[in-house]
Amino acid sequence: MTSCSSCCRLEQREPHPVKIGLRVLTRPEPDQLPTIYRTLGENYNERVLPSIVHETLKAVVAQYNASQLITQREAVSREIRRILTDRAAHFNIALDDVSITNLTFGKEFTAAIEGKQIAAQEAEMAKFVVEKAEQDKRAAVIRAQGEAKSAQLIGQAISNNPAFIAIRTIEAAREIAQIIANSKSRVFLNSDDLLLNLQEMTLEATGKEN
């Protein structure tokens, strides 16, 4: 079995030259060795493969553009193998494997591909920003609706039950007392004044709501 590597620079339908690396594993048909040596010599691979590989690559690659060579690489490889197998058979040479080892494009095409990738990333980022803004907007609307509903319920509770103000006053006084208790500073505040001030604040707030 003989391994042969070939690298060709070809022009395609588009003005983007491509350099293709191809690996070919060959072996002579055992029962045809005398004929091969007589007609081609012991260096039959060097005499046959370079020409048929180049011609096959040129014929196959001409059917694809640069992008298709990348996205349809396996299909291109299979087509090259099919044609090479048929052509090598005329020289009593069998092919065990044909595979594309690398594809190299010109700087312009590479730059164009990178530009498309950057544009796609920027478009994805812009989409994310728009979606986040929409989510923030919906959250703000829901929060505002919740606050409005809460204010409405408090207003209804005050209208239906005047004692609600006293309950809220006591709750507020407890919260302030807890804050003072947890503070490192000493604070002295008359409990009656505290409740009176809280009642005044609550009544003022109620008056504004009405």
Exposed, middle or buried: residue 76 (CB in 10 Å: 0-12, 13-18, 19+)? buried
Most confident option among 70-79, 142-151, 195-204: 70-79
User: Among the listed ranges 70-84, 125-139, 194-208, which one has the minimum average pLDDT value?
Assistant: 194-208
Q: Is a pLDDT exceeding 80 seen at residue 29?
A: yes
| Containing structural domain, residue 47 | 2-105
Same domain for 210 and 171, yes or no, is yes
Among 76, 71, 84, which Cα is nearest to 45's? 84
Residues 74 and 98 in one domain: yes
4 in helix, strand or coil? strand
Q: Are 87 and 56 in contact (CB under 8 A)?
A: yes
Q: How many domains does the chain have?
A: 3
Q: What is the CATH number of the domain that holds 50?
A: 3.30.479.30
Residues 6 or more apart in contact with residue 113 via CB below 8 angstroms: 105
Quick one: average pLDDT of 152-171?
Answer: 69
Angle between helices 107-160 and 163-182 (to 10 degrees): 120
The string of pLDDT tens digits covering residues 53-110 is 888 888 888 888 777 888 888 888 899 999 999 999 999 989 888 888 887 776 665 5
Strand order in the sheet with 2-10: 2-10, 18-28, 93-105
Q: Are residues 10 and 98 in the same domain?
A: yes
**Residue 7 and residue 99 in one domain:** yes
